[in-house]
Amino acid sequence: MSAGPAKNPSVVTRFAPSPTGFLHIGGARTALFNWLFARHNGGQFQLRIEDTDRVRSTKEAIDAIIDGMRWLGLDWDGDITYQFERAPRHTEVAEELLKAGKAYKCFATAEELEAMRAEQRAKKQPQRYDGRWRDRDPSEAPAGAPYVVRLKADQEGETTLHDLVQGDVTVKNAELDDMILLRSDGTPTYMLAVVVDDHDMGVNHVIRGDDHLNNTFRQLGIIRAMNWDAPQYAHIPLIHGADGAKLSKRHGALGVEAYRDDFGYLPEAICNYLLRLGWGHGDDEIITREQAIEWFDLTSVGRSPSRFDFKKLENINGHYIREADDQRLTDLVKPRVEKTLEHALSSSEQALLLQAMPFLKSRAKNLNELAENSLFLFEKRPLKLEEKAAKQLENTSGSLLAILRKTLGDLPAWDSESLEKALHDVAEQADLKMGKVAQPLRAALTGRTVSPGIFDVMILLGQDESLARLDDQLSLSPTHS
């Protein structure tokens, strides 16, 4: 039954995106892992919007993130926390640290610091704040001069992080400089805010991108200064583009809504793909949400970055399309078809789409292909033939089409059995292989060389429409005119 790793209902995870853009694919995976870990343990999964950057944070981005989370089925517990609203609390902690002598005021100007860094760069020294105000008294500063509050970080010893994914990572405390807690305008920085929020929200498992690994040591400094318990950390490797470099737009660094709207992927396919990127469960490839919840654990998360592979995503998406409910697919494909057709589908056309879905869905890897492949059902006569289809008909004798037209026209019953027999008879009489008969017929009926089975096509189209489309081609046939 419960084959998965041991459960711990006290687990609290969170996803904390900054709303400066859409929910990108890497963020989606981080959210998924946090969600899975919480659900597996029967714990809590929280959503926190890190909107402390007032200039770059937008309402649109917040909506896009929430929309993306919902689409992927990643539901969170409780209300969304907006970090900016908690600024007073962050400031309070900074003041407390200041009072306890664990933080201090630094009056160095931005220009001064830039000069310091430039010098360090020139001397090929590590770039970090040199602690010039660490032991000076504020009275040494010009009256009323602006200042930032910095953490008085430990200079001696080293810190070892027991990361749930990366293992033990040790960094010398001397490597870390005194980070800014409060900006000169009094607003809290990200470093302070995350630590305080995670603590106050009871977050005990921080699962985030590898790019935060170095930050963790700084954050640990604040936690130590406050005498708080540190959460467990799990730094998951980043997703790279197909070329191994940082995920660029061209290589998939798009918002999840692009995967939904532009590429036509199903959320379950995205989740399955993302789950397998960096995490594995033996040889399992297709993993249901229930299995994922049951099996997910942090110890099986890989330590190396993985490359984003559209081909594999397409394959998985194709699998889920084949599995998906016909009505659901019809609803998803309808707007795409309507966009191409430039008019709304009538209720009978929608019914036809639904009826065709079982034959369409095994041939598509995404919803765009699905829509594209269904177009022949709705196109108005006379059909515009694809180049290959036109060529196919050119190479077909008009007499064969005429025989087909007559045979099919005389058919009293329009079901697959009758149609199959009719076509076989025609092929036999003309001494042709089935393909030589079916292909031109397909070209005439769909305008393409690729379609669902020819009998299915005829049934979907109906006898009248099928014959009419055949007539269209017959009237154009040189041997007939």
The torsion angles phi and psi of 263, rounded to 5 degrees, stand at: -95, -20
For the question of residue 249 being annotated catalytic, the response is: yes
Matching residue, tokens 């106050």: 200
Of 420, 478, 419, 469, nearest in space to 444 by CA? 469
Q: How far is the CB of 197 from RNA (least distance, A)?
A: 10
Sort strands 167-172 and 158-163 into parallel, antiparallel or unpaired.
antiparallel
Instruction: Assess 105 for contact with RNA (CB under 7 A).
Output: no
Q: Which of 173, 232, 291, 306 binds RNA (CB under 7 A)?
A: 306
Q: Among 65-73, 87-95, 136-144, 165-173, which window interacts with RNA (CB under 7 A)? A: 165-173
Residues 135-154 that bind RNA (CB under 7 A): 146, 148
From residue 364 to residue 383, what is the string marking binding to RNA with x (rule CB under 7 A)?
x-------------------
Instruction: Assess 117 for contact with RNA (CB under 7 A).
Output: yes
Residues 325-354 that bind RNA (CB under 7 A): none
363, burial (CB in 10 Å: exposed 0-12, middle 13-18, buried 19+) = middle
- Residue 236 is classified by DSSP as E
Q: Among 64-72, 105-113, 249-257, 397-405, which window interacts with RNA (CB under 7 A)? A: 105-113
Question: Of 362 and 475, which has the nearer Cβ to RNA?
Answer: 362
Query: Cis bond leading into 267, ω under 30°?
Result: no
Residues 6+ apart with CB under 8 A from 207: 13, 30, 33, 34, 37, 233, 234, 236, 298
**How many of the chain's residues bind RNA (CB under 7 A)?**
84
Question: Of 131 and 146, which has the nearer Cβ to RNA?
Answer: 146
The rounded distance, in Å, linking the Cα atoms of 229 and 181 is 19
**Exactly one of 249, 339, 406, 433 is catalytic; which is it?**
249
Q: Among 29-37, 102-110, 379-387, 398-406, which window interacts with RNA (CB under 7 A)? A: 102-110
Q: Among 37-45, 212-220, 248-256, 460-468, which window interacts with RNA (CB under 7 A)? A: 212-220
Question: Of 187 and 397, which has the nearer Cβ to RNA?
Answer: 187
Q: How far is the CB of 17 from RNA (least distance, A)?
A: 7
Instruction: Assess 156 for contact with RNA (CB under 7 A).
Output: no
Instruction: Assess 401 for contact with RNA (CB under 7 A).
Output: no
Residues 435-474 that bind RNA (CB under 7 A): 435, 438-439, 442, 449-455
Residue 325 CA to chain centroid, in angstroms?
Answer: 22
Query: How crowded is the C-beta side of 305, counted as CA atoms within 13 Å?
Result: 16
Q: How far is the CB of 178 from RNA (least distance, A)?
A: 10
Q: Which of 88, 144, 157, 282 binds RNA (CB under 7 A)?
A: 282
Instruction: Assess 384 for contact with RNA (CB under 7 A).
Output: no
CB 99 within 8 A of CB 298: no
Token code pair at residue 444: 């005439």
Token code pair at residue 201: 């929200």
From residue 222 to residue 261, what is the string marking binding to RNA with x (rule CB under 7 A)?
---------------xx-x---xxx---------------
Instruction: Assess 59 for contact with RNA (CB under 7 A).
Output: no
Instruction: Assess 42 for contact with RNA (CB under 7 A).
Output: no
DSSP 135-156: TS-GGGSPTT---EEEE----S
Q: Which of 67, 285, 326, 471 binds RNA (CB under 7 A)?
A: 285
Of 250, 236, 169, 187, nearest in space to 207 by CA? 236
CB 327 within 8 A of CB 303: no
Enumerate the active-site residues: 249
